[in-house]
Amino acid sequence: MKVQIGLSEAARSTVVEILNTRLADEYVLYTKTRNFHWNVTGPNFHALHAFFEAQYVQLEEFVDQLAERVRQLGGRAAGTLAEFAKATRLKESPKARPDAAGMLQALLSDHEAVARLLREDIATVEKTGDEGTTDFLTGLLEAHEKMAWMLRAHLEG
């Protein structure tokens, strides 16, 4: 069925592509955070285990919201690990076994990268006239900035 929400097919296609790339980035960051939740050790184990869990729960919600936004625009949401691996702009280090501080630093670097990428995505989406997605991505930007701040606070202590 044709989507008639006031955006051209070209605009929706551009936005769907950006959202699917963002979906891949969020899924990779979700997976990395979950991995660190499972594998953190050391004197701050309990606090970091719970902290990582709170972050991955929030990231999981972002993943769902992004996929639903893609569908609202009439697109197909990426949903396989192969699609995510191909589309993500984040780097994984599968053989790395960082200590707790290394985990915090890796996640901080990723959240800061996501914030920078979101600013670029927002600028592109604004040009399509899709205010709904612009607003949605701005909310994600604010959330990632807050998550980065919390990670930075752990590292500064």
Q: Which residue has the tokens 């929706």?
A: 12
DSSP 51-97: HHHHHHHHHHHHHHHHHHHHHHTT-PPP-SHHHHHHH--S---TT--
Torsion of CA 117, 123, 128, 133, to 10 degrees: 60
pLDDT at 71: 97
Q: And the tokens for 18? A: 């950006």
The pLDDT tens digits of the residues spanning 26-69 come to 999 999 999 999 999 999 999 999 999 999 999 999 999 999 99
Distance from C-alpha of 68 to C-alpha of 75, rounded to nearest angstrom? 9
pLDDT at 4: 83
Residue 1, pLDDT > 80, answer no
The pLDDT tens digits of the residues spanning 73-120 come to 999 999 999 999 999 999 988 888 999 999 999 999 999 999 999 999
9-156 topology per CATH: Ferritin (1.20.1260)
Residue 157, pLDDT > 80, answer no
Q: Where are the domains of the chain?
A: 9-156
Burial of 38 (0-12, 13-18, 19+ CB in 10 A): exposed
